[in-house]
Structure 1
């Protein structure tokens, strides 16, 4: 009786299209072959077979890497973009800042105390000017 290994995490399984390769791998390998093989035949007569093969390998290598390499389920272009952003585009120093609700409440309380102090000072000045009696605003009607 034959045994088949079944992976525990089924999300890592990718559907194979042709030659046990995924669609992404087929596209990347095909593009690499479209660039490398004609280049080999163009350079073979001028620089020799060995040098042309080396140039072909160097030209096709990025296509193979984009098709095969994955880190934490992310393809090479995503990983590369994240590296470029973290090294060059984002600021190096990111100070830790929190939004503290308690600080906002303390600040609001201090502002209210300042406003109360200003109002009390204005009332005291008004009562001193008018001989101890606080008078109403001149434009307001007096209500009895």
Structure 2
């Protein structure tokens, strides 16, 4: 009798649930979108160019959907990887200088801010006491 073995992945977080035809829900959606866009494009292209060219055009149109369905690297899908690339290449600044926040300088800024607040409070108290003197001086005793 021969023993049969079933391979069990060590990392169960990488296991994806299959919905139909041994494909995940994501793969089914991407393949369905590819078919919805690719097949009509084939028939439209076939009226203008030869069948071989129409087939090649349909394949070119459907390929991005296949890549979105199948490509995955380090647990990240194609659109996540593309998003990171667009962020790094176009959106974020190219030069990001290294800036440190000196703890002593932060303490000095905090102390300066506290002195400013104290000064504002003292001025407002002086104005308030000056107004009370004026108000009291106007009273008849």
TM-score strictly above 0.5: yes
Q: Secondary structure at the match of 1:56?
A: helix
Q: CA deviation at 1:42?
A: 2.4
- Provide, for residues 67-116 of structure 1, a one-character-per-residue CA deviation record: whole Å limited to 9, x for no partner: 11112211111111110111111111111112232333467789xxxxxx
Bigger drift between 35-44 and 79-88 goes to 35-44
- Name the residue aligned to 2:24: 22
Give distance in 1, aligned partners of 2:92 and 2:111. Answer: 37
Q: Check 1:56–1:109 CA distance in 2 against 1; reply closer, same or farther (3 A cut).
A: closer
Give aligned pairs, total. Answer: 111
Q: TM-score, normalised by structure 2?
A: 0.71
- Name the residue aligned to 2:119: none
Unaligned runs of 5+ in 1: 111-144
- Name the residue aligned to 1:64: 66
Give distance in 2, aligned partners of 1:51 and 1:108. Answer: 71
- Name the residue aligned to 2:104: 102
Instruction: Give the structure with higher Rg (CA).
Output: 1
- Provide, for residues 36-59 of structure 1, a one-character-per-residue CA deviation record: whole Å limited to 9, x for no partner: 111112222431110010000000
Matches within 5 A, 1:76-115: 76-105=78-107
When the two chains are superposed, the root-mean-square deviation of aligned CA atoms in Å is 2.1
Relative to total residues, which structure has the larger helix share, 1 or 2?
2
